[in-house]
Amino acid sequence: MTQRLPPQPGEWIDRSRTIEFVFEGKTYPAFVGDTVSSALWAMGERVLGRSFKYHRPRGILSHANQDVNVMLEDGTRTNLRGDVLPVEAGMVLKAVNRLGSVERDFYAVLDWLSPFLPVGFYYKTFHRPKALFPFWEGVIRRMAGLGALSPHAPRSETTKRHAYCDVLVVGAGPAGLSAALTASQGGARVILVDENPRIGGTLSYDHGGEKHALDTLRALQARIANEANIRVCVNTTALGYYADHLVPLACPNGLEKVRASKVIIASGAFEQPAVFRNNDLPGVMLGSAAQRLIHRYAVKPCERAVVLAGHDLARRVTLDLIAAGVEIAAYVELRETADCRWAEQRGIPVYRGYCVYEAYGKKSVEGVEVCLWDGQGRADVTRKHRIACDGVVMSVGWAPAAALLYQSGCQMRFDETRQQFLPARLAEGIYAAGRVNGNFGLEAALADGERAARNALGLAIGSDRVDDAGYSHPWPIIDHPRGKNFIDFDEDLQLEDFANAIQESFDNIELLKRFTTVGMGPSQGKHSNMNAIRVLSRIRNQPIAEVGTTTSRPFFHPVPLGLLAGRSFDPERLTPLHAWHLAHEATWVSLGGWQRPAFYGSDRASAIVDEVMAVRTAAGLIDLSTLGKFEIRGPQAGLFLERFYTGHYQNQAIGSTRYAMLLDETGVMVDDGIVARLAEDFYYVTASTSNAAAVYREMTRCQQIWGLDATIINLTGSYGALNLAGPLAPQILAALLSKHRLERLNGAEQLEIAGVVCRLLHVRFVSEIAYEIHAPARAMLALWEAIHSEGAPHGLKPFGIEAQRVLRLEMGHFIIGHDTDGLTHPFEVGLDWALAHDKPDYLGYRSLRILKRKPLKKRLVGFTLTQPPDVLPDECCLVLRDGAIVGRVTSIAHSPTLNRTIGLAYVAAEDAVPGATFVIRHQHGMDILATVVPRPFVGEAR
């Protein structure tokens, strides 16, 4: 049996294209443009999903992206919402979170057990006996959760864009359309967004049985299409409001981050359900859902409807139902005083001052019981009327879709007459229009949109609200001794759950939310928060304005991680010599974002030994282009460095190098490098690879504060560097020098090597004889190749990071960050000599003076293992003294040069003397004896 109506004017389906899809193992037809829910409903299906907790059958509630009880999965994707998922040909779908099928869900026994499982039951049980909790937790975890994940789902790679506009209009209903038009005509560039596939908002479904709304929509559509200044984004959700008018949009194929000068929020209102027993039975739906089904999808919501009315807009819903051929079994008007003559004139049985006491039916609604009530929740059950029907259409109230307003810092007030939260004080540059602003009628909404846009453009300070009427019943909630009158459909929360939670002292809105979980489900309280607030207000006898709302947090609708992530962006940096290393079979390691050769070839152990021995016996060449490189120029460049680093630089001879140590304000070592003075007011400074960015940041920060006459130029990327080390280095270099004589090469200078203008620094980090050569990045390859071909016949080898670590260890040098940690100060590593004591001030100096007076607890020493075990202790193994932790090993390696195990470790200060022994706790648990030896280790061999 199909409930598809004849073509409806303005419908969203394309009748020329019929497609098929599978739901729960059965094949269904659909039109292109259908949602899964509309297509199933058209085919007479009523049970589209199961509820989260009690596994009750559920159907269409809002058909507006809130029907989270109709969640589907297709084997790859999960938690897809049936009410917004467009049908595609060949889709194979099933409902999430059920055992068996949606029709026969074995978990439905939970519905019978529900009296055992009241609100918060899980806090009261399962923890005794303790040993059983893991079992119960397993059960709970399996029962909870909605969709099951597919580990094979692909990572999407959607795009991200930034956009700017004068006016962003959120919501393309009458207010939004009118606001966009007004703004555009006022000369503004406008972006207009709507989550629906088409613009129009209520105009596309709330017709009231007439043509007027559709005619208005068509006229507006035509005008919008003519405005070159308006960019319309449909299928697009404004995810939230972030500081400074940032509104990210979830578009069909990517993310667009909009910064708007002005934001007009015309996001409408969410229709709210009435709360009565079995209000969740499939067939019970919101008026707007019924209207959407009719006008957008040409689906008859039911054959025979009971309309539950709480305000005057219910009339329009009823007229739409009648126009669609639905028989109105009863018009149940909650308000005793409402004027229902229009209905009576049409022969509709009117029950004025009545409520729906309960709905009944097995898997979908088969009828309702209505009775008189007091307007306050209590029904007069002495005279109940049973009315058969296959649909209950609730039209009782609204809650503003004010999430973005709240997030923008708008203060809301509760308007008792309209029974709605309304903006009281808007944040700067934010405007509200339409239903979210309390204007429901078409004319009022259009006028409000225009007013908001004029205000935004500064054209007028228009008067505020235009609509007087309110459209929300103050208490659409009906008690029932047997419950199952749901407030929150996501979380299966019934009226009594709230009373119980409040009785248990969760009696303010935030605690109530957290205890009951109201509004914490995927629809984020869109249909439940307002009624929860009403219940709390009633029980606590507190005005709604005082009860307040919970904090509104992004997102407006849940948003896929893939969309938020976009294309992954993890830039990797390559040195100017990358291609050369590649051609010479480098094995790579990623360090501080750079790709660097760890060693050359593929056999790690032998490569390291070969590379180390080349440096010790002939020469080695390493790419150091990743170092931080800075020029400090100006009359006060030396002074700047003296304040920045611990040493003296103003009296440094031109053409010399000095060690540079950077501390933080607590005296902790942050970085070290070399300062070379190249001219009177020109210094060249290096920093370690991993700290290059941080050192530069700190330099510029200090320069901001000190305001010295010095300029800092960051050459880290534009310059490359290499190190030529080993006994044959001078000879190799000499062969490449055109003008210079070698003896003079001791400090730092600018000279020409192999035709390239370079800066040459003498740095004894890996070897007694070593030259760091810095040159513009584009010249590096030529330089490197010249040195390499000159040296190779003499035994020169390129070496990588791993050999470098061994070489510097043999030289006894520590590496900051490797042999130090976030608390190490210079005294602990024996760097007292690098600290000036006669400067007025430098970074960390004050702390150093205090630290100097304190006895040292531990010191960094060189050590050797007399009887190394088969497996060497790992770096970071502990150093123990009388069983207590005193320090740790920071570096350890087998030295090919010395053929023994050497390392650096922190030991108790009293043990920091050559010859002393200490205990290392090996990672395998045994204790190993080590002996303190003087550094450098290679010096010791000489």
Partner 1 sequence: MPLNLLKFALSKRHPEPPFFRQPDYLNPSYEVVIIGGGGHGLATAYYLAKDHGITNVAVLERGYLGGGNTGRNTTIIRSNYLTPEGVAFYDAGVKLWENLSQELDLNLFYSTRGHFTLAHTESAMRTMRWRAEINKKMGVESEVVGPETVKAAIPQIDLSCGGRAPILGALYHKPGSIARHDAVAWGYGRAANRMGVHIFQSTEVTGLEIRQGRIHGVHTRRGMIRTSKVLSAVAGFTPRITQMAGFRTPIVVHPLQACVTEPLKPWLNTIVVSGSLHVYVSQSSRGELVMGASLDPYEVHSTRSTFDFVEGLASHILDLFPFLAGIKVVRQWAGMADMTPDFAPIMGLTPVKGLYLDAGWGTWGFKATPIAGKTMAATIANDKPHALIHAFRLERFRDFELTGEKGAAAVGH
Range 652-691, binding partner 1 (CB under 8 A):
666-667, 690
Rounded-to-integer distance, Cα 491 and Cα 253, Å: 31
Q: Quick one: 137 or 603, whose CB is closer to partner 1? A: 137
State the minimum distance, in angstroms, from the CB of residue 664 to partner 1.
9
Dihedral, 328, 329, 335, 337 alpha carbons, nearest 10: 80
Note whether 541 binds partner 1 by CB under 8 A. Answer: no
State the minimum distance, in angstroms, from the CB of residue 821 to partner 1.
4
Site for partner 1 in 334-353 (CB under 8 A): none
Residues 405, 422 contacting (CB under 8 angstroms): no
Among 169, 269, 314, 877, interactor with partner 1 by CB under 8 A: 877
Note whether 558 binds partner 1 by CB under 8 A. Answer: yes
Rounded-to-integer distance, Cα 257 and Cα 770, Å: 52
Q: Quick one: 291 or 550, whose CB is closer to partner 1? A: 550
The tokens 């809105």 sit on which residue?
509
State the minimum distance, in angstroms, from the CB of residue 690 to partner 1.
5
Note whether 838 binds partner 1 by CB under 8 A. Answer: no
According to DSSP, the β-strands at 594-600 and 620-623 are unpaired
Note whether 252 binds partner 1 by CB under 8 A. Answer: no
Region binding partner 1 by CB under 8 A among candidate stretches 145-153, 394-402, 536-544, 644-652? 145-153
Among 115, 347, 458, 793, interactor with partner 1 by CB under 8 A: 115
Note whether 741 binds partner 1 by CB under 8 A. Answer: no
Region binding partner 1 by CB under 8 A among candidate stretches 146-154, 410-418, 607-615, 779-787? 146-154
Q: Quick one: 274 or 865, whose CB is closer to partner 1? A: 865
Rounded-to-integer distance, Cα 643 and Cα 697, Å: 15
Region binding partner 1 by CB under 8 A among candidate stretches 215-223, 264-272, 509-517, 898-906? 509-517
Rounded-to-integer distance, Cα 532 and Cα 476, Å: 11
Among 818, 839, 881, 894, interactor with partner 1 by CB under 8 A: 818
According to DSSP, the β-strands at 254-265 and 159-170 are parallel
Note whether 97 binds partner 1 by CB under 8 A. Answer: yes
Note whether 573 binds partner 1 by CB under 8 A. Answer: no
The 3-state DSSP class for residue 202 equals helix
Note whether 700 binds partner 1 by CB under 8 A. Answer: no
Q: Quick one: 62 or 407, whose CB is closer to partner 1? A: 407
Q: Quick one: 127 or 211, whose CB is closer to partner 1? A: 127
Rounded-to-integer distance, Cα 571 and Cα 595, Å: 11
Rounded-to-integer distance, Cα 363 and Cα 217, Å: 38
Dihedral, 192, 292, 518, 550 alpha carbons, nearest 10: 30
Site for partner 1 in 172-211 (CB under 8 A): none
Among 210, 339, 374, 821, interactor with partner 1 by CB under 8 A: 821
The 3-state DSSP class for residue 534 equals helix
Note whether 693 binds partner 1 by CB under 8 A. Answer: no
Note whether 827 binds partner 1 by CB under 8 A. Answer: no
State the minimum distance, in angstroms, from the CB of residue 688 to partner 1.
9
Note whether 126 binds partner 1 by CB under 8 A. Answer: yes
Q: Quick one: 156 or 656, whose CB is closer to partner 1? A: 156
Contacts of 440 (CB under 8 A, 6+ apart): 269, 313, 398, 467, 469, 471
Contacts of 454-463 spanning 24+ positions with Cβ under 8 A:
454/182, 454/186, 455/431, 456/167, 456/179, 456/183, 456/188, 456/262, 456/264, 456/429, 456/431, 457/167, 457/182, 457/183, 457/186, 457/187, 457/188, 457/262, 459/186
Rounded-to-integer distance, Cα 174 and Cα 2, Å: 33
By CB under 8 A, the count of residues binding partner 1 is: 105
Residues 356, 332 contacting (CB under 8 angstroms): yes
Note whether 781 binds partner 1 by CB under 8 A. Answer: no
Among 209, 462, 554, 655, interactor with partner 1 by CB under 8 A: 554
State the minimum distance, in angstroms, from the CB of residue 680 to partner 1.
36
Note whether 564 binds partner 1 by CB under 8 A. Answer: yes
State the minimum distance, in angstroms, from the CB of residue 671 to partner 1.
10
HSE on the CB side for 93, CA within 13 Å? 31
State the minimum distance, in angstroms, from the CB of residue 402 to partner 1.
16
Note whether 913 binds partner 1 by CB under 8 A. Answer: no
Note whether 164 binds partner 1 by CB under 8 A. Answer: no
Region binding partner 1 by CB under 8 A among candidate stretches 328-336, 624-632, 820-828, 897-905? 820-828
3-state secondary structure labels for all residues of 703-757: HHHHCCCCEEEECCCCEEEEEEECCCHHHHHHHHECCCCHHHCCCEEEEEECCEE
Among 382, 568, 738, 899, interactor with partner 1 by CB under 8 A: 568
3-state secondary structure labels for all residues of 799-868: CCHHHHHHHHHHCCCCCCCCCCCCCCCHHHHCCHHHCCCCCCCCCCHHHHHHHHHCCCCEEEEEEEECCC
Among 40, 530, 816, 860, interactor with partner 1 by CB under 8 A: 816
Q: Quick one: 646 or 691, whose CB is closer to partner 1? A: 691
Note whether 92 binds partner 1 by CB under 8 A. Answer: no
Rounded-to-integer distance, Cα 859 and Cα 354, Å: 86
Q: Quick one: 747 or 800, whose CB is closer to partner 1? A: 800
Q: Quick one: 146 or 487, whose CB is closer to partner 1? A: 146
Site for partner 1 in 278-337 (CB under 8 A): none
State the minimum distance, in angstroms, from the CB of residue 652 to partner 1.
29
Helix axes 442-456, 174-185, angle to 10 degrees: 40
According to DSSP, the β-strands at 586-591 and 159-170 are unpaired
Site for partner 1 in 576-615 (CB under 8 A): 589-592
Q: Quick one: 74 or 631, whose CB is closer to partner 1? A: 74
Q: Quick one: 52 or 649, whose CB is closer to partner 1? A: 52
Dihedral, 240, 243, 246, 249 alpha carbons, nearest 10: -20
Region binding partner 1 by CB under 8 A among candidate stretches 553-561, 603-611, 643-651, 858-866? 553-561
Site for partner 1 in 465-504 (CB under 8 A): 496, 499-500, 503-504
Among 89, 109, 140, 713, interactor with partner 1 by CB under 8 A: 140
Q: Quick one: 7 or 592, whose CB is closer to partner 1? A: 592
Rounded-to-integer distance, Cα 721 and Cα 712, Å: 19
State the minimum distance, in angstroms, from the CB of residue 911 to partner 1.
18
Region binding partner 1 by CB under 8 A among candidate stretches 285-293, 376-384, 674-682, 880-888? 880-888
CB neighbours of residue 762 within 10 Å: 17
Note whether 235 binds partner 1 by CB under 8 A. Answer: no
Q: Which amino acid is at 93?
A: L
Note whether 259 binds partner 1 by CB under 8 A. Answer: no
Omega within 30 of 0 (cis) for the link into 560 = no
Strand ranges (DSSP E) for 5-87? 14-23, 26-32, 49-50, 57-58, 71-73, 80-81
Q: Quick one: 348 or 511, whose CB is closer to partner 1? A: 511
Among 154, 347, 793, 840, interactor with partner 1 by CB under 8 A: 154
State the minimum distance, in angstroms, from the CB of residue 668 to partner 1.
8
Among 443, 510, 585, 785, interactor with partner 1 by CB under 8 A: 510
* φ and ψ of 597, to 5 deg: -70, 125
72 exposure class (CB count in 10 Å sphere: 0-12, 13-18, 19+): buried
User: For residue 831, what are its two tokens?
Assistant: 């760097």
